[in-house]
Structure 1
Amino acid sequence: MKTIHVNVKQLGKKYPILAEQPINIDTEEDTISIQELLHFIVQQQVENYNQKSIEKEDEDVQKLPKENYLPLLIESGKASFSSIYNENKVNLIKAQETASQAFEDGMFAIFLGDQQFEDLAEEVSLTTNQSFTFIRLTFLVGSYW
């Protein structure tokens, strides 16, 4: 089990960086491909999501935030109560395929320090102390084609 640090960013001035978070990936290898990295990260995120409890409408009808949560709402400017209302579990294989396809389609970019990865077959070292940065890319005008 190795721990990597991941930054998630999006373009724009409003919320340029969302968070840096440590992610445990299930490998003992020092070097893996970008595709394997994506699969490990998606696996960890899917496991976290599938373990969360599902909100039932009869439990908290008003969905009011607690007192200690209000400063976080003010800081982020976004109301997110971390509640799950969909009872379906995420399919891990489908989620991994979707992440790989999104990377190939240029929907997001992956960096390690100043190095950008552009191919799923590229190898990356997990022994560096640098953080991985994922940047969600958005289309500015027009359509996808």
Structure 2
Amino acid sequence: MQIVITLKSLSRRKGFLEKKPFEIDNIPLNLEELVKELISINVNTYNQKEIDFPFLPYLTEDEINLKSTVGKIGFDLKYNDTIADLNEAIANALQAFQDGLFKVFLNDKEIESLQENIELNENDEIVFIKLTMLSGRMW
């Protein structure tokens, strides 16, 4: 099943990153299962990247323009051989949601709990909004 993920950060000037299609194998029944599925996909993709040191690294003008729309221009290289721990990544993501560090919306409806039932359909849009804390001092 294909879904569309939009990542948003309130701290970014542009306010959003482009929508990205994701192919998921297991259809989640609640937010916890969805987060686990997405984290598994990302950790596996990260762990499968090879360490790469190009002889002459360069980016074409088209690559620079494309990467500038998402807010980060880089070589997409993995510079060390650290393997991400899937269980730790899942635990961190679930804890971050419980701590209120990000919000999740499914087709413009907020999902408020990890156990809330969800019904995903082909090409549904899921939005993750990373919340940032204001810092300052009290007088």
Considering the TM-score relative to the shorter chain, is it more than 0.5? yes
Identity %: 33
The yes-or-no answer on 1:94 pairing with 2:88 is yes
Deviation of the 1:3 alpha carbon: 1.7
SS of residue in 1 equivalent to 2:4: strand
The yes-or-no answer on 1:131 pairing with 2:131 is no
For residues 51-77 of structure 1, the C-alpha deviation after alignment (integer angstroms, 9 at most, x for no partner) is: 112124xx43x6432344233355455
The gaps in structure 2 that reach 5 residues or longer are: none
For residues 9-32 of structure 1, the C-alpha deviation after alignment (integer angstroms, 9 at most, x for no partner) is: 1114622111211112221x4x61
Counterpart of 1:81 in structure 2 is: 75
Q: Matched residues in 1 for 2:123 and 2:60: separation?
A: 37
TM-score of the aligned structures, taking structure 1 as reference length: 0.81
For residues 67-104 of structure 1, the C-alpha deviation after alignment (integer angstroms, 9 at most, x for no partner) is: 44233355455322211112111111111111101111
Structure 2 residue corresponding to 1:51, chosen from 41, 48, 65: 48
TM-score of the aligned structures, taking structure 2 as reference length: 0.85
Q: Matched residues in 2 for 1:73 and 1:125: separation?
A: 33
Amino acid at match of 1:17: F
* Alpha-carbon distance change, 79 to 112 in structure 1, aligned in 2, over 3 angstroms: same
Q: Matched residues in 2 for 1:77 and 1:41: separation?
A: 21
Q: Matched residues in 2 for 1:39 and 1:77: separation?
A: 26
* Alpha-carbon distance change, 51 to 14 in structure 1, aligned in 2, over 3 angstroms: same
Q: What is the correspondence of 1:83-122 to structure 2 with a 5 Å cutoff?
A: 83-122=77-116
Q: Matched residues in 1 for 2:18 and 2:112: separation?
A: 23
